[in-house]
Structure 1
């Protein structure tokens, strides 16, 4: 039985995206398997079902792939997939560390660069590098224990219509948000409770340095910042630009979010991403140390890098595939370009200071 929940997706475009990717996947599967082998291959990753057994995938609660692809993996390999989702990326890594002596499953997906060093240092992963890892993954490769699968830019989004109606220029930079002209207009998410919130905190560390980010948050808070516990509440309740119900025209979301706001039948989306405010998340997969089904875990990592799965990721999880050779959906090409120079913080620095930064943030923003 496979059970997943999905919190990152923009549901208004889900049905169309799923239909399109299902057609593409079905056509592709008539010619090849999803794990890199031909239909004549045997054993793990082959097409004769000789491997068998269950592969338990431990993941965050935003994991989603088209059902046709998951079924094809099972039919190609003979494995049965089960999923376990203990929470967001932070909760995922916490659970892996706490259960290191009795791992929750065989393979993990969803460890992002904010928590990668903690997972590696805790010894919860075994080394594995797929033969089919694309060259474009090398730039975000964090070592032999982790395989990059997808990436996403966490950025502030704006409601174009609101700013036009109020005859106010849209902000473009992080510094702009502290201008009194934008007082009470911004909503972000709590970095201790959400992955985008932590990424935005890291964006400010990357932008202003370890000595300056706290002053920035003091100024931002003084300018009427709102903080929500979840991305969905911030985007669909507080933000004015998606369903149009909220009072705030600036929200923390993703560079890909405007692609979900293209009107039915085409046209320009109501929203846009501020590409000078972004922090790049990279999500990884890895074989869990002590896995009962090592071959199955490796086959699943290979599967995540297959062209079919990489092409499925934008429509299912609203992330960019790590394989840059994969064509993006047309709406993404037009309305969801990635940031050219996202902010970054070294993963080891993040791991060393994450808890201190979160405590400082809470003292400044919550009091």
Structure 2
């Protein structure tokens, strides 16, 4: 080989060697080799990748720069429910409602947390305070009447919802705007013990009590303070509605009632205690039309006949017996988990729950279910000629209630 050929061959080999070195460096930088310079794309790296055992990567792992989807177990939906402390607790099982709720939880997977309050007004006040503070509050409130519902509505605190199962007549009595769902109802009534009354007094009670008769019966009546008791408040509104129908001043009516000896107790319980007290002249108590049903149930429970020891009647005006319907409802609070809240409200109107209302709440269930035999003694809407609720619209009650209660206090002496 000539010298020129040797130099030429050496040059070619040098060029090939440089090219090979360049390819090798490029190969290493691409991350395809066994280096660990880019762990996100290195499938054999021990960091942030599936190991050879196919064990699932830790959270946050990416493969080929794409996140790995984690298998997440969804948390159960939590539903916070506020109610008053003796809701559905007046039957043989004081824990009935808790047991029913547990079934609901098992069927739906919704975790229900119940908070109980001394009364519905305290419950509503708590909700409004919590909303104002921006802290966790109820998703659902049970036990509101039309007045409390108006208060919630004025503060934009409710999400309007009426369960499809709710009967319109009862729903309209609770709220014409259908911002809540009724769960039970009953008639405000004068409940009396016929064995302790004269024939003249019984005659005034048998077919509805006029306002004039109410004044005559006042020494025999114990009622409740409307500033503290929902029963007392509904009775005050009842008398105001009938006074308006007759063109009468309700304040003058109450001056006559108090002046003639009507007793005012601080609560429904204390009024009933006075009514039942041996030797008490108060043989008439402001209560509910379902009381005779409770009396018959209690008599049978104690081994006696299923017969009531008390009767009930309503007020009358214009020759008609007019009832005052007290409706209790459930509302969804702003910010609630809506799907879960609506399921819960619908469930409260299910037969499973509604059939338990008569013997635990001693009110009529909102929907039509079979009633216990002793409910034949209760006053129903069919026993009156009409309802007086429409005379005092909920908006008017809400706007004027504070003034009315101050007027009543000035008459009754607080």
Please give the range of the TM-score, normalised by the shorter of the 2 chains.
Answer: 0.7 to 0.9
2:135 equivalent to 1:106: no
What SS does the aligned partner of 1:266 have? coil
2:97 equivalent to 1:53: no
- Supply the distance in 2 between the matched residues of 1:274 and 1:322 (Cα, whole angstroms): 21
- The equivalent residue for 1:93 is 124
Deviation by residue 1:286-331 (Cα, 9 ceiling, x = unmatched): 111022x3332222111111112111111111111111x2122211
Is there any run of 5+ residues in structure 2 with no aligned partner, and where?
1-73, 89-95, 317-322
* 8 Å CA contact retained: 1:93, 1:119: yes
Deviation by residue 1:185-238 (Cα, 9 ceiling, x = unmatched): 111000011100100010011110296111110000011011111111111x21
- The equivalent residue for 2:267 is 230
Deviation by residue 1:85-135 (Cα, 9 ceiling, x = unmatched): 333233332322222233521111111012222211211111333343345
* 8 Å CA contact retained: 1:51, 1:78: no
Find the structure with the greater CA-based Rg: 2
- Supply the distance in 2 between the matched residues of 1:128 and 1:364 (Cα, whole angstroms): 40
- The equivalent residue for 2:193 is 159
| 1:74-93 paired onto structure 2 within 5 Å | 74-93=105-124
- The equivalent residue for 2:410 is 363
Higher normalized contact order (CA 8 Å, seq sep 6+, divided by chain length): 1
* 8 Å CA contact retained: 2:188, 2:314: no
Give the counterpart of 1:216 among 246, 253, 261: 253
Give the counterpart of 2:201 among 169, 180, 189: 169
| Number of residues of Structure 1 aligned to a counterpart in Structure 2 | 309
- Supply the distance in 2 between the matched residues of 1:205 and 1:183 (Cα, whole angstroms): 16
- Supply the distance in 2 between the matched residues of 1:115 and 1:105 (Cα, whole angstroms): 15
Is there any run of 5+ residues in structure 1 with no aligned partner, and where?
1-49
TM-score of the superposed pair, with normalisation by structure 1: 0.77
* 8 Å CA contact retained: 1:88, 1:195: no
Deviation by residue 1:155-199 (Cα, 9 ceiling, x = unmatched): 111111111xx44432331431212xx352111000011100100
- Supply the distance in 2 between the matched residues of 1:305 and 1:183 (Cα, whole angstroms): 39
- The equivalent residue for 1:43 is none
Deviation by residue 1:240-279 (Cα, 9 ceiling, x = unmatched): 4xx6563310101100011111122424311111123642
**Cα distance, 1:55 vs structure 2:** 1.6
What SS does the aligned partner of 1:82 have? strand
- Supply the distance in 2 between the matched residues of 1:108 and 1:142 (Cα, whole angstroms): 19
What SS does the aligned partner of 2:257 have? helix
- The equivalent residue for 1:347 is 394
